[in-house]
């Protein structure tokens, strides 16, 4: 890894985290655990969470005041890569999406009452949350268009709307809901973010949406939900009214670093599986799979693509730390589509190297192939990021 990004904090803590993941989580990656519902493996993962706390590794993303290490985004990104080497890493360390993004949002913008009631138990891993923004009736590529409304009624909001891909809603304690509160305002100032406890009357969990043949449950799920005249106090507003889109963008900047470093961790583990198999799979008495030029090409291309992606993402993370997400938006767009595509290419090469074994559930590759194809869609489809980046570049070439 590039020494430029390795601080003393990371140098001291990263080997401990890596050892924990390999010792405690790799053995859980059995065919049974990778193919059954998350709720069935969750009790075992909660035991691992207790071990994380005992090891003093809990809350790594939090500030020192909150019991964390006070890591920068660039520092935590390197931890995120290591956690991503196992499908269970982020959950066991309580740094999983969408909770980590909601934690940051509530820490910055929620009232003290909301922090006490929802943020503290979220940080302690006692509850989970979800983020309710995408709607089936409107294109996700244009997030300022949405039909969900929050109408003021005295001291309350009454929320009406239909959402889907509210990931991890199954079993969550609350959602942060994007809803239109100011319909007459300009498009980017119409929506607000409101915390909605999911035991509130009128909330309907419609279904967990089947993804690539697997419905999932608990944290590992993507829900379709409806809000039928859901009444919550106006004090549940996050930040200012009309600032929903701004907060979503602020949440997505660091969130995309988290995602991209997770992509790199998955690619690195897939690369390791590919190389181990290539070096050990005998084709005859004197020849191994790794002796084949095609496989050598897979290995060489994957190595440099992973390294390039890591440097791009950590540079972007450092720039966000120093100047803020808005100043690094071009880089954020670039890393999102570059890193997601890199990861999928590496997974595909690793599957091809393993042959028929690669498409079975006996190893991790087929799990990631199915679950990570969505990486080119969520948090902004590739095409949206490419278009935004190109427009920004072309502005510099236009004459005044």
**Mean pLDDT within 104-127:** 96
Residue 295, classified by CB atoms within 10 Å of its CB into exposed (0-12), middle (13-18) or buried (19+), is buried
DSSP letters spanning 236-252? GEESSTT-HHHHHHHHH
Residues whose CB falls within 8 Å of the CB of residue 301, separated by 6 or more in sequence, listed in order: 345, 349
Q: What would the pLDDT profile of 306-358 be if each residue is shown by its tens digit?
A: 999 999 999 999 999 999 888 999 999 999 999 999 999 999 999 999 999 99
Q: Which CATH number applies to 3-98?
A: 1.10.540.10
Would you identify the CATH topology of the domain 129-238?
A: Butyryl-CoA Dehydrogenase, subunit A; domain 2 (2.40.110)
CA distance 273 to 265: 12
Residue 267, classified by CB atoms within 10 Å of its CB into exposed (0-12), middle (13-18) or buried (19+), is buried
Please state, for a pLDDT cut of 90, what percent of the chain lies above it.
Answer: 88
3-state class of 207 per DSSP?
strand
The overall pTM is greater than 0.75:
yes
Q: What would the pLDDT profile of 234-247 be if each residue is shown by its tens digit?
A: 999 999 999 999 99
Q: What would the pLDDT profile of 182-240 be if each residue is shown by its tens digit?
A: 999 999 999 999 999 999 999 999 999 999 989 999 999 999 999 999 999 999 999 99
Chain length of the chain: 400
Domain ranges of the chain: 3-98, 129-238, 245-395
Classify domain 245-395 at the CATH class level.
mainly alpha
pLDDT at residue number 2: 47
> CA 204: distance to chain centroid?
24
């Amino acid at each position: 890894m590039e020494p430029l990004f390795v601080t003393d904090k990371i140098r001291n803590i990263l080997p401990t985290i890596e050892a924990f993941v390999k010792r405690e989580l790799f053995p859980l990656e059995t065919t049974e655990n990778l193919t059954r519902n998350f709720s069935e493996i969750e009790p075992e993962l909660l035991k691992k969470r207790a071990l994380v706390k005992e090891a003093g590794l809990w809350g790594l993303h939090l500030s020192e005041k909150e019991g964390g290490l006070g890591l920068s985004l660039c520092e935590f990104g390197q931890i995120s890569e290591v956690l991503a080497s196992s499908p269970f890493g982020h959950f066991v360390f309580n740094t999983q999406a969408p909770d980590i993004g909601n934690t940051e949002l509530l820490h910055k913008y929620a009232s003290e009452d909301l922090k006490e009631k929802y943020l503290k138990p979220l940080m302690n891993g006692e509850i989970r949350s979800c983020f309710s923004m995408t709607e089936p009736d409107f294109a996700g590529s244009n997030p300022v268009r949405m039909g969900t409304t929050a109408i003021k009624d005295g001291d309350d909001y009454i929320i009406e709307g239909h959402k889907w891909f509210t990931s991890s809603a199954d079993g969550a304690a609350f959602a942060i809901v994007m809803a239109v509160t100011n319909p007459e305002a300009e498009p980017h100032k119409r929506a607000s973010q409101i915390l909605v406890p999911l035991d509130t009357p009128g909330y309907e969990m419609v279904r967990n949406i089947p993804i690539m043949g697997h419905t999932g449950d608990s944290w590992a799920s993507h829900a379709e939900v409806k809000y039928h005249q859901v009444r919550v106090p106006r004090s549940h507003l996050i930040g200012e009214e009309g600032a929903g889109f701004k907060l979503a963008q602020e949440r997505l900047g660091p969130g995309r670093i988290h995602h991209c470093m997770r992509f790199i961790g998955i690619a690195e583990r897939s690369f390791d599986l590919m190389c181990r198999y290539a070096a050990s799979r005998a084709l005859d008495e004197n020849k191994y799979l790794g002796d084949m030029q095609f496989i050598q090409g897979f290995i060489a291309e994957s190595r440099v693509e992973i390294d390039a992606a890591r440097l791009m993402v950590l540079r972007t993370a450092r720039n966000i730390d120093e100047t803020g997400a808005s100043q690094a938006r071009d880089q954020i767009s670039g890393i999102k589509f570059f890193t997601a595509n890199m990861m999928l290419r590496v997974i595909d090469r690793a599957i091809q190297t393993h042959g028929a074994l690669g498409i079975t559930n006996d190893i991790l590759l087929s799990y990631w192939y199915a679950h990570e194809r969505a990486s080119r869609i969520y948090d902004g489809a590739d095409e949206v990021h490419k278009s935004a980046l190109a427009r920004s570049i072309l502005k510099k070439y236009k004459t005044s």
